[in-house]
Amino acid sequence: MIATVSSLYIYPDSDAPGQELDSVEVTESGPEGNRSKKHAVHLVSVDDYVETHPKANIVLDMDSSALEKLVGRIVRLGDCTLEVTQTPSQCAGVYARVVEPGTVSVEDSLLVAEPE
């Protein structure tokens, strides 16, 4: 399964629109500059982003059903390792926790670890 990052966003204020970035440092609590949220990172497919504009941090050029199948898996984007933890109840995409902080950039490839 090959996918790349098509867009990156942070949402410093809950009522303000997102800020699009070329790259972002992802810390244990999520993308640097993003307001604190219950889930560190929100990933979404580009089709779902275009349709519904969820406040996702990482937009990937992959099918939403393939993205949802990553729940429970470890993925790597740039220098950052994430564990995809669940699908949101109110919007598209998936949530992830940060396993290893690092920089994520537009056009970084999504690498999926083999299940143990």
In tens, the pLDDT along 63-76 reads: 999 999 999 999 99
Query: Are 58 and 44 spatial neighbours (Cβ–Cβ below 8 Å)?
Result: yes
* Range list of H helices, 12-116: 46-52, 64-68
- Chain segment 4-33, per-residue pLDDT in tens: 999 999 999 888 888 999 999 999 999 999
Question: In terms of residue numbers, what domain contains 82?
Answer: 5-112
CATH number where 63 lies: 2.40.33.20
Say how many domains are in the chain.
1
Output the pTM of the full model: 0.94
